[in-house]
């Protein structure tokens, strides 16, 4: 593991990464649990440690709007949000992606109201899934730091030019103090050269941004955006590999653990992956194979890598830290189901709802999921309803 | 103006990224007069040179002459009818059908 070992919580680690990335503009509005990120950046700017414009705005809607203007003018731009803040940004998310800005946004994942909750669910990440942003999930503080740096590099690559969201679980990562290895400023500088903007706002070369676009060209613009987002996949891998060589920490779109020959596989996003892997390791000691698949890259959805990761699975428990009301399953479940269906692979699939609003997720819960998966395997039939783990009352 | 980038766009692959219009003055060749369904026809004999139509035209597709008489630029007139509505002497009549220079 390369780099100096320091202790930071997730929010401070992300802020530190943004500082090392020498962002030009920070446009943000505070919201728990990401507040420490922008507070820390405000301190850096105030202390003169970071030469950036810090734009305090009156809402998240404005935060992202200002970030778009700054990004289009050629600046390296950072913002952060959570939950209700993301919801207020929502219409602007589409614009940030469609105008091909390179904003990097950290999201301290938090449950959406009602009732008011400040703890972790993945509702906010899922709410942004269709908007055209790239999305990454950190499993620990180290990954939150690393992914923030990589997000700048990926977004600003001329083969990409899309904004990125780095997800880190609210409180579990944003507020947890962990040891992490950080790169030297000079190393980051080499990894992240100055942004080279494409079509920047320039009075010498006037252009129209975001004009009216009716039935005559709107569809062609969407086709171009679709194809361009699909084309980011190899670039993301390339940056993951390059960063791996630089840092000694390897990254890939899909992380697998004990999947070879495992009939039962659990799929998960974010910080819970470690808990699931811990249980899988304990089962392995007893000679039982339980595979674990987690995603570092959530958008674009790593279809090919996921099919490969699940090729031996007979039953897959897809864990969602969210509810999608009225849908055939929660959000990750629907993604996994359609990915496998397209590949004409049909392991038994069922949805697991866990950890909503920061509800503790323990090894005992993982064991319950594994028992359910084994039951499904024995019966040869998957339940239509999701399994709710860690909830009180009748099943 | 020099050769337009926009006129070379045939399909989605030719589009500039981010949906920008990469040059100014595209209205020089993007003639919106062909949106028109009804067409203003001016009777110059009735016109009293008050210029109310010139003031109100949102395009502007009413062109003011040296002597304050007006003419209609059918390349850009979308046929909204405001000019006919504000004319105090009913010198402008809105007619159906293809009239004027159709962009």
Provide the total of helices (H) and of strands (E) in chain B, helices listed first: 2, 4
What DSSP designation does A23 have? -
Using the Cβ of B8 and the Cβ atoms of chain A, whether some distance falls under 8 Å is answered with no
Cα A138 to the center of its chain, rounded Å: 7
- Reported ipTM: the value is 0.87
pLDDT band (50, 70, 90) for residue B7? confident
pLDDT, residue A345, reads 76
Check pLDDT > 60 for residue A210: yes
Please provide the DSSP assignment of A222-272 as one string. HHHHHHHHHTTHHHHHHHHHHHHHHHS----SEEEES-TT-SEEEEE-TTH
Mutating which of B17, B22, B30 best tests the A interface, going by the most A Cβ atoms within 10 A?
A: B17
Q: Give, in order, the Cα–Cα distances in Å from A349 to each of A178, A322, B23.
A: 35, 17, 52
Q: Cβ of B23 and A207 within 8 Å? A: yes
Check pLDDT > 60 for residue A215: yes
Gap between the Cα atoms of A49 and A37, Å rounded: 15
The minimum CA-CA distance between A231 and chain B, rounded to whole Å, is: 13
Which residue is listed with tokens 């923030």?
A: A148
Chain B CA closest to residue A224 = B12
Which residue is listed with tokens 């699975």?
A: A313
The minimum CA-CA distance between B72 and chain A, rounded to whole Å, is: 26
Q: Cβ of B15 and A209 within 8 Å? A: no
Gap between the Cα atoms of A66 and A64, Å rounded: 5
> Considering chain A, what is the average pLDDT of its residues?
97
Using the Cβ of B24 and the Cβ atoms of chain A, whether some distance falls under 8 Å is answered with yes
Size of interface A-B (CB pairs under 8 A): 47
The pLDDT tens digits for B60-77 are: 899 999 999 999 999 999
Check pLDDT > 70 for residue B103: no
With beta carbons under 8 A apart, name residues in chain B contacting A226: none
pLDDT, residue A190, reads 98
Q: Give, in order, the Cα–Cα distances in Å from A223 to each of A103, A136, A216, A217, A351.
A: 22, 23, 13, 10, 32
The pLDDT tens digits for A102-155 are: 999 999 999 999 999 999 999 999 999 999 999 999 999 999 999 999 999 999
HSE (side-chain half, CA atoms, 13 Å) at A373: 28
User: Using CA atoms in the order A73, A78, A84, A90, what is the torsion angle rounded to 10 degrees?
Assistant: 30
pLDDT band (50, 70, 90) for residue B1? very low
What DSSP designation does A208 have? B
Gap between the Cα atoms of A158 and A227, Å rounded: 14
Phi, psi of A8 (to 5 degrees): -150, 155
Gap between the Cα atoms of A61 and A28, Å rounded: 10
Provide the total of helices (H) and of strands (E) in chain A, helices listed first: 13, 15
pLDDT, residue B100, reads 65
pLDDT, residue B102, reads 45
With beta carbons under 8 A apart, name residues in chain A contacting B21: 207-208, 211
With beta carbons under 8 A apart, name residues in chain B contacting A198: 17-18
The pLDDT tens digits for B12-47 are: 999 999 999 999 888 888 888 988 999 999 999 999
Residue of A206, A210, A224 lying closest to B15 (CB–CB) = A224
Helix spans in A180-232 (H): 185-191, 218-230
Gap between the Cα atoms of A198 and B45, Å rounded: 55
Residue of A207, A213, A228 lying closest to B22 (CB–CB) = A207
A169 forms beta bridges with A109
């Amino acid at each position: 593991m390369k780099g100096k070992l320091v202790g930071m919580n997730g929010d401070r680690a992300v802020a530190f990464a943004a500082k090392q990335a020498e962002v030009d503009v920070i446009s943000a509005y505070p919201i728990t649990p990401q507040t420490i990120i922008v507070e820390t950046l405000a301190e850096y700017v105030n202390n003169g440690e970071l030469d950036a414009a810090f734009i305090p705005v009156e809402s998240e809607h404005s935060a992202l709007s200002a970030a778009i203007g700054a990004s289009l003018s050629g600046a390296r731009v950072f913002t952060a949000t959570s939950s209700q803040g993301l919801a207020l940004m929502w219409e602007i998310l589409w614009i940030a992606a469609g105008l091909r800005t390179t904003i990097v946004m950290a999201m301290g994942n938090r449950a959406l109201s009602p009732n008011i909750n400040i703890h972790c669910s993945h509702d906010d990440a899922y709410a942004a899934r269709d908007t055209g942003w790239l999305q990454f999930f950190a499993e620990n503080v180290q990954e939150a730091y690393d992914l923030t740096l990589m997000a700048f590099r990926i977004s600003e690559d001329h083969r990409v030019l899309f904004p990125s969201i780095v997800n880190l679980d609210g409180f579990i990562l944003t507020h947890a103090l962990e040891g992490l290895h950080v790169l030297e400023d000079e190393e980051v500088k080499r990894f992240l050269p100055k942004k080279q903007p494409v079509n920047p706002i320039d009075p010498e070369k006037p252009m129209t941004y975001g004009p009216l676009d009716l039935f005559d060209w709107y569809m062609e613009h969407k086709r171009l955006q679709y194809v361009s987002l699909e084309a980011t996949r190899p670039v993301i891998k390339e940056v993951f590999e390059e960063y791996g060589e630089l840092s000694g920490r390897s990254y890939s779109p899909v992380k697998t653990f004990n999947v070879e020959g495992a009939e039962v596989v659990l799929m998960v996003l974010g910080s819970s992956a470690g808990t699931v892997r811990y249980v899988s390791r304990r089962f392995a000691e007893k000679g039982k194979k339980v595979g674990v698949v987690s995603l570092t890259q959530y958008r674009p959805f790593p279809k090919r890598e996921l099919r490969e990761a699940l090729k031996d699975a007979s039953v897959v428990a897809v864990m969602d830290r969210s509810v999608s009301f009225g849908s055939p399953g929660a959000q990750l479940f629907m993604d996994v189901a359609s990915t496998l269906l397209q590949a004409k692979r049909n392991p038994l699939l069922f949805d697991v709802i866990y950890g909503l609003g920061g509800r503790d997720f323990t090894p005992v819960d993982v064991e319950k999921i594994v028992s359910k998966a084994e039951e499904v395997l024995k019966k040869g039939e998957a339940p239509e309803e999701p399994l709710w783990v860690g909830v009180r009352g009748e099943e | 103006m020099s050769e337009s980038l926009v006129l070379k766009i045939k399909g989605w692959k030719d589009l500039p990224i981010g949906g920008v219009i990469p040059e100014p003055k595209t209205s020089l060749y993007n003639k919106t007069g062909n949106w028109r369904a009804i067409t203003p026809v001016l009777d110059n004999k009735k016109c009293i040179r008050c210029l109310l139509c010139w003031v109100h035209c949102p395009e502007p597709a009413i062109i003011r002459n040296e002597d304050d008489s007006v003419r209609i630029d059918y390349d850009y007139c979308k046929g909204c009818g405001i000019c006919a509505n504000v004319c105090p002497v009913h010198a402008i009549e809105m007619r159906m059908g293809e009239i004027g220079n159709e962009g």
